[in-house]
Amino acid sequence: MKQRGSKRKRKAVGSIGRDGAEMASSALASPAMDLSALAEYVAQFSSKTIVLLGDFVADEFQFGEISRVSREAPVLILRHSHTRLAPGGGANAANNFVALGARVLPVTAVGDDAAGAQLREYFQALGTDTSGIVTAKNWTTPTKTRFLAGWAHTAGQQVLRVDREPNAPLPESVRAKLQSVLGRKLKKADALAVSDYGFGVATPALVRQARAQRKAKFTITLDARHNLHAYARAQVTSATPNEAGGRSLRPLPRLSTSTSRKCRRSFRSTGSHPWRSNPIPWIRTSHGRRHRQVLRSS
């Protein structure tokens, strides 16, 4: 059993290593990650200012010990132990940039609720500038609540997830404020990271406006779960769709290591597809935890 697990682990590490090499080299030929080059890239974050435009999501975890099976229904009864809230969605991306040493300027909206307040307090505790976090009244902060069950001295297993999402679009006044804040923050930034989870904070139109206002060239990265085509003319530097998102750009073979070259040729030969006329230089796709591909679209 240990040997099989070890082989799977080595296979996973090898897959990620190839992705890192492809990202670092325009030739996309090296089979292993250049760790020294990667370390240099990571070290540069401490001197960079990054604007994070995206949907902040609250990841809530409810932990409980299994008490018994309910008489009312075939479900577990949990004795609540503790609750933990972590940054999710665009908030997770912002948190990762902070961990890498970058100066992060979040531009987002949260609801006038407990989840929104906790996300704001979380980043304030990190010393992050939270002036770009706009509070939207009568709007719900997207929250994913996971219930984890277990016994003492055992790892909790997720048994249920409940999602709370906004039941109305962001008010126009909040959208206008986000646009104004984004323009101001970008004047100080080296890059713009966009995390579009479909809740209305990050939009293709807003990204295009930001690009038009900033005359100097700068990097834009995109993580969008939906509507990738709409960002085609936003001059995005790189994008990270999952497998389903990548297939929405153009029907592609399964994005395994053995077909990566076919995928790259497919992107290059797109013809009249909107990505061709306004290409994204790098597209990183993933399907599952162990398989990732970095494709060059031009």
Domain membership of residue 24 (yes or no) is: yes
Q: Cα separations (Å) of 255 from 26, 112, 118, 263, 275? A: 19, 41, 38, 7, 18
Least confident segment among 6-20, 60-74, 222-236, 276-290: 6-20
Residue-level pLDDT at 30: 44
Residue 206, C-beta contacts closer than 8 angstroms, at least 6 positions apart: 53, 178, 179, 182
CB 51 within 8 A of CB 105: yes
Least confident segment among 66-80, 208-222, 277-291: 277-291
pTM of the full structure: 0.74
Residue-level pLDDT at 31: 43
- The pLDDT of residue 151 is above 60: yes
Residue-level pLDDT at 34: 78
Number of domains, the chain: 1
Domain membership of residue 81 (yes or no) is: no
| Both tokens assigned to 256 | 């395994």
By residue range, what is the domain housing residue 33?
1-43
Percent of the chain with pLDDT over 90: 56
Domain membership of residue 214 (yes or no) is: no
User: For 33-59, what is the mean pLDDT?
Assistant: 91
What is the gyration radius of the CA atoms in the chain, in angstroms? 21
Residue 132, C-beta contacts closer than 8 angstroms, at least 6 positions apart: 51, 105, 106, 107, 108, 181, 182, 185
Residue-level pLDDT at 23: 39
- Type of residue numbered 229: H
Domain membership of residue 27 (yes or no) is: yes
Domain membership of residue 169 (yes or no) is: no
| Beta strand extents in 137-183 (DSSP E only) | 143-150, 157-164
Domain membership of residue 13 (yes or no) is: yes
Per DSSP, the three-state class of 188 is: coil
pLDDT in tens, 186-229: 998 999 999 999 999 999 999 999 888 887 788 999 998 777 77
pLDDT winner (highest mean) among 26-30, 85-89, 223-227: 85-89
What is the dihedral sign for C-alpha 70, 76, 79, 85?
negative
| Both tokens assigned to 179 | 């646009």
Domain membership of residue 29 (yes or no) is: yes
Given the structure tokens 């009568």, which residue do they identify? Answer: 138
